[in-house]
Structure 1
């Protein structure tokens, strides 16, 4: 590397590091270093003399220094900076003019006129054929936004890039075509696939919205769905409460009977405790009746678990209750469900039947529970009264003294 190139590298590195607006996320030192690297990769594959290689390297380092003075006409500003610097380094006028021509060749809408111009042009756009294209391109979009140059959504930016790939940009050197074009094509395909994916998603959402509006009157309304959902949940919750209450009564009476049989019953063998027979009998009788009614309240009903095709066609069977299909084959049940789903009225009718019969079961449970609690309460009161009367009037202290 010549001393002039080393000095140019140091000059540009210092200039872009200290004087460039930090909002330049793309046109910064990293971009310049990438262009220099790509330039060297390109001219190493062509027979160029040392002066041409030096001019290309100098142009690659200096081509974006004009951004330190703003983004407008940055190529011309870069040429001025290059001229001042190179003259200061005692560079000959021919080399300075060549470097300036190469810097101007990086303009977007100009056609390169010679091999060196093609090399610098391809090097400046080498990121199109790199694996990091998406990330690099996003930095340019953010740079334009931060500088207030233009605002693009990701979709707009993607479409602009696709158009540029297809109609504007092309590689000029054969080396770039052979080594970078394939990756560029892959980047283009990735952009197109992303666009198609988003468009398909948008079409699905649009179709869903149109179908929703079209069949709005035919589809179940939210209020109806909520009504069935809340009603079903409330009925199931009430059923759980009823079962819990019945289990409590069952447990309490079982404990009472166990205590009576283990503590009170052995004492009845003594003739002096005969007065406890009737109170104990009342106590046990009401407890047993309460247990029986608690079991009856939670005892499930056994159903046939079968239906016929005529039942389904006539809409006489509730396919949502397991007791109506648990003995049927899976194939027959699947057929019945398909028939159910074909008819919206049948769906509503089935849900209504399920809700109704669940209510009937709940009514039976709560009626039995009400009687059970009433009997338990009466039994407790009568048992206490009976024990009190027996103890008061027939207890061991009521001994009749015979006259002497």
Structure 2
């Protein structure tokens, strides 16, 4: 679902939503972004929309998922936690400005904040649609996964190769140790096996590049 459509479904003003959309696109085109760009959130909006439909969510619920998908990385400076909170604040400001009811503003804000730790109650289907879609890239083709991994490395170029390798290995090991990467059965059927193969391949590559690893 496109951003202006989602805002109007929530009772917001279409013209104000269009102005916010222009700002959103400008932000996602910032030169320091290599993965967390408009391509990424477009994919998240598409995949979360598919999951929301599969979950049987209503029109208003699907609009909330769409809003959060489009805005969850609208502020991005490679500062985990701070970025998501700033993105949630942007979401609140723009939805309020467009005249979206406070209850929906709060719900959209909560969804964006759920991406900080990728956690939410098990029965929260809106968050499940968003969070599973946000990790869909892990189950992409090996070529697209490599683009993602390289892009994230460029976004964190402030770190040395050695520090990045150590941190990335820890992230990959943590992900692979999870009993499941995705919250829903639908997402697991679609992406889980490919995601684990991609993660394992990257982990092997980093370990092979570590002169201290045996």
- Cα deviation, residue 3, structure 1: 6.3
Structure 2 CA distance for aligned equivalents of residues 122 and 55 of structure 1: 15
Match of 1:27 in 2: 36
Match of 1:242 in 2: none
* Structure 1 residue 167 corresponds to structure 2 residue 170: no
Structure 2 CA distance for aligned equivalents of residues 136 and 13 of structure 1: 25
Q: Which has the higher relative contact order, 1 or 2, with Cα contacts under 8 A spaced 6 or more apart?
A: 2
Q: Normalized against structure 1, the TM-score is what?
A: 0.43
Task: Give CA deviations for 1:242-270 in whole Å, capped at 9, x if unaligned.
Answer: xxxxxxxxxxxxxxxxxxxxxxxxxxxxx
Match of 1:183 in 2: 194
Q: 1:120 to 1:18 in 2, by over 3 A?
A: closer
Structure 2 CA distance for aligned equivalents of residues 61 and 108 of structure 1: 18
Which structure shows the bigger proportion of residues in helix conformation? 1
Q: Is the 8 A contact 2:27 2:75 kept in 1?
A: no
> Which residue among 151, 163, 177 is the counterpart of 1:139?
151
> Which residue among 50, 57, 65 is the counterpart of 1:56?
65
- Cα deviation, residue 151, structure 1: 3.0
Structure 2 CA distance for aligned equivalents of residues 3 and 115 of structure 1: 17
- Cα deviation, residue 106, structure 1: 0.9
Q: Is the 8 A contact 1:144 1:151 kept in 2?
A: no
* Structure 1 residue 106 corresponds to structure 2 residue 115: yes
Q: Is the 8 A contact 1:141 1:157 kept in 2?
A: no
Match of 1:126 in 2: 136
Structure 2 CA distance for aligned equivalents of residues 54 and 36 of structure 1: 10
- Cα deviation, residue 77, structure 1: 1.3
Select between 37-46 and 64-73 the one with higher mean Cα deviation. 64-73
Aligned CA RMSD, in angstroms, stands at: 3.1
- Cα deviation, residue 159, structure 1: 2.2
Q: Normalized against structure 2, the TM-score is what?
A: 0.77
Q: State which structure, 1 or 2, has the greater radius of gyration over its C-alpha atoms.
A: 1
Q: 1:112 to 1:124 in 2, by over 3 A?
A: farther
> Which residue among 81, 84, 96 is the counterpart of 2:93?
84
* Structure 1 residue 17 corresponds to structure 2 residue 26: yes
Task: Give CA deviations for 1:282-314 in whole Å, capped at 9, x if unaligned.
Answer: xxxxxxxxxxxxxxxxxxxxxxxxxxxxxxxxx
Q: Is the 8 A contact 1:158 1:191 kept in 2?
A: no
Match of 1:259 in 2: none
Extract structure 1 runs of 4+ deviating beyond 6 A.
none
